[in-house]
Chains A and B, each alone.
Chain A
Amino acid sequence: MNLALFAHTWRANRARLLIVFVALGLWGAVLPIVYDSFGSTFKDIFASGSLPPQFAQFGGGDIFSLSGSVAIGFIHPIAVGLNLIFAVGFATAAIAGERQRGTLEIMLSRPISRRVVYATLAISGALFIGIAVLGSIIGSLIGASLTGRTAELGVGQLPLLWLNGALLYWAIGAIALLASASFDRLSQAIGVTLAFVAVSYFLDVLGSLWPDARGLQPYSVFYYLDPKTILAGFPDAGDLVVLGAVTGLAILAALVVFPRRDLAAPS
């Protein structure tokens, strides 16, 4: 890791990180409040049978418990979109974006190996993602406190919930950084990564809404994000292992690909 490059990267992203952190915090706080205000109403609606029960279990969450609503908050497109600002936006721009802009060669003309450049960007991205996910956790905690339901939340499980959420976006970020290290143009890196994320998200949501498609869910990285089970005190170590393995494999592939690539003049 190169501290000068890390400091440069931190300065370039800190304002954006603050905005994402606050936005995720607000989003995280809203759902316990919504649950507190309308949870029983929702429960009555679903109990009446007017809506399919799957609708109440979107992405592995539910709206009948605090942990379920926090889980929905994690898998909701708003939260996913905010987290992808760093997992996809930062990671794809970190190498392919710099290369397309012509600034990568200024960076690489310094005495820093490509592996160190990659490692520094990967660590920076991991930190940004970790802080962003922390925003959701802190938001949920604040929301639970405001509604007087802190005890119901399972505060002791929050570090594990953070790890699960961070690992999901680290896995996506590692894939994005691999694409970034492999392609010359930002649009290519973003396209490949977003295609992966979209298919993955679709498979998970489809499986959660349609029982016949449940077999597709294990092929999605989002399937391994399981806040409700973690908050209930029954975390599945397998989820963390799978996400960790995806992250590790993507990092290994990038460490092989990036140093061996030819970096011709940007066109």
Chain B
Amino acid sequence: MTAIATSGLSKTYGRATPVHPPGRPHATVVRALTDLTIDVGEGEIFGFLGPNGAGKSTAIRLLLGFLHPTAGRASVLGLDVVRDSVAIRSQVGYLPGGIAFWDGLTGERLLDDLAALSGRPATRRAELLDRLELSPTTLRRNVRDYSRGMRQKLGVIQALQHDPQLAILDEPTEGLDPLMQYAFYAILQDLQRAGRTIFFSSHVLSEVERVCDRVAIIRQGRLVALEDIPTLLARRKRNVEMRLEGEPPPLAGVPGVSDVRIEDGRLRCRLEGDVAPFLAAIAGLTIHDLTIEPARLEEAFLEFYTGDLIDDEAPQAIAAGAPPAGGTPPVADA
């Protein structure tokens, strides 16, 4: 079964005005999300990546019913995000990015209140407190006295304490020290083993490589990649460096080779895909030293972050001459 499915999901802010005062531009329409189509399977750990302002939070808020889609559809655990928003939230745990709490409450009172609002018993709380090392003494203190890391732990616990079927976590390791990050990854893997689905956005690419099964990369409101991690790793370019005797070979036209340059007497280039053409091109040369190393995953992501969009008609803000695309009209979250 699919935990999350979106089809052409779009969100536009603002409204174009056909009539406007002379000398004043049309109203600005912001396309925060355009045509997002993804499927997240049950039991999957799914990474949702993109630079700041790419539309990650917009997508998450659409899934939770905080925003109404301008166009397209989305379902969570088989339920429509517009019609069944309340039912969805009964099965979801959510950690917002940069979480805020009622600071006058103690940690314990806060978790109790949030569990009561969830309407489900906090069956996982004790285990999470133990694994994230939040002591009962700490929980008796007011949240306003918590450090950034402690607040983040509290955020993780409130999202997972009622053992939700799906956890939507926005930058979950922000503020956690490395030890706690490891503890958090272990928690995610245990949840996955228990059949829970995790959907999380992150800027920490190494953690995505570590824990995710698949990732979606979003940029300027558009999906630019949807891959499983092994495929993404296989596609990443390798960095090549060699020290030669004599003239460097003409590598520019060799399939898979790019970014050829000579620096400090060494030939450097990048290599993608099959290595055979490259090896054929350097065959017979006198090579004193040759290093081929896989590019870091970060570089693979950064290519998606910084490369040109194929269809670049999705600027984040456009001077609109036409009204926003028609789509799902606002429906009350009653």
> Considering the chains assembled together, what is the distance between the CA atoms of A11 and B333 in angstroms?
27
Answer whether residue B13 sits at the interface, using C-beta atoms and an 8 A cutoff.
Answer: yes
Of the candidate stretches B116-124, B231-239, B269-277, the one touching chain A is B116-124
B48 within 8 A of A: no
CB distance from A224 to the nearest CB of B (A): 32
Number of A residues near B (Cβ < 8 Å) is: 29
Chain B residues lying within 8 Å of A103, measured Cβ to Cβ, are 100-102
**Does B27 lie at the interface of the complex (its beta carbon under 8 Å from any beta carbon of A)?**
no
The residues of B that contact A107 with a CB separation of less than 8 Å are 117
Which of B89-97, B189-197, B304-312 participates in binding chain A? B89-97
Q: Does A149 contact B (CB under 8 A)?
A: no
Contact B104 A12 (CB under 8 A): yes
Q: In this assembly, does B114 line the interface, its C-beta being within 8 Å of a C-beta of chain A?
A: yes
- Please report which residues of chain A, range 248-267, place their CB below 8 angstroms from some CB of chain B when the two chains form the complex: 256, 259-260, 262-266
Minimal beta-carbon separation of B97 from chain A (angstroms)? 8
* Interface set, chain A 79-120, CB cutoff 8 A to B: 101-103, 105-115
A12 CA / B65 CA spacing, docked (Å): 27
Distance, CA A248 to CA B120, complexed state (A): 34
- Report whether over half of chain A's contact residues are helix, strand or loop; otherwise say mixed: helix
Q: Please determine whether B102 and A111 come into contact, CB atoms closer than 8 angstroms.
A: no
- Bound CA span A102–B57, Å: 14
Q: Give Cα distance in the complex from A264 to B90, angstroms.
A: 21
Q: Which of A1-9, A32-40, A151-159, A160-168 participates in binding chain B?
A: A1-9
CB of A113 within 8 A of CB of B333, answer yes
User: In the assembled complex, how far is the CB of residue B78 from the closest CB belonging to chain A, in whole angstroms?
Assistant: 16
- Asked, given contacts A108-B66, A115-B332, whether A5 binds B117 with beta carbons under 8 Å apart, the answer is yes
The answer on a CB contact under 8 Å between B113 and A263 is: no
Q: Give the distance to chain B from A255, nearest Cβ to Cβ, in Å.
A: 9
Q: Are A4 and B113 in contact (CB under 8 A)?
A: yes
A223 CB to nearest chain B CB (Å): 35
CB pair A102–B99 under 8 Å, yes or no, is yes
User: Is B98 interfacial (CB-CB < 8 Å)?
Assistant: yes
Distance A262 CA – B15 CA, assembled complex (angstroms): 13
Interface: B68 (CB within 8 A): yes
The listed residue (B66, B86, B100, B332) touching A111 by CB distance below 8 A is B86
**Separation of A79 and B116 alpha carbons in the complex (Å):** 36
| Residue among B89, B101, B333 having the largest count of chain A Cβ atoms under 10 Å | B333
Q: Is B334 an interface residue (CB 8 A)?
A: yes
Smallest distance from the beta carbon of B172 to chain A beta carbons, Å? 14
Judge whether A106 and B68 touch: CB under 8 Å.
no
- Contact of A114 with B96 in the complex, beta carbons under 8 Å: no
Given A4-B117, A8-B117, A110-B119, also A260-B94 (CB < 8 A): no
- On whether the beta carbons of A112 and B98 are closer than 8 Å, the reply is no
Cβ–Cβ contact B66 & A105, under 8 A = yes
Cβ contact of B334, chosen from A7, A111, A115, A263, cutoff 8 A = A115
Say whether B99 contacts A110, CB under 8 Å: no
A residues in contact with B215, CB < 8 Å: none
Contact mask for chain B residues 1-23; partner A; CB cutoff 8 A; 1 contact, 0 none: 00000000000010000000000
- A111 near B87 (CB under 8 angstroms)? yes
B64 lies within 8 A of chain A by Cβ: yes
Expressed in whole angstroms, the minimum distance between the Cβ of A181 and any Cβ of chain B is 12
The 5 A-B residue pairs with the shortest CB-CB distance in the complex, in nearest-first order: A102-B100, A111-B90, A4-B116, A259-B332, A109-B94
A-B contact pairs, 28 of them (CB 8 A): A2-B117, A4-B117, A4-B119, A11-B109, A102-B96, A102-B98, A102-B100, A103-B100, A105-B96, A106-B114, A106-B158, A107-B117, A108-B65, A108-B66, A109-B64, A110-B119, A111-B90, A111-B119, A113-B86, A114-B333, A114-B334, A115-B332, A260-B330, A260-B331, A262-B330, A264-B58, A264-B67, A266-B100
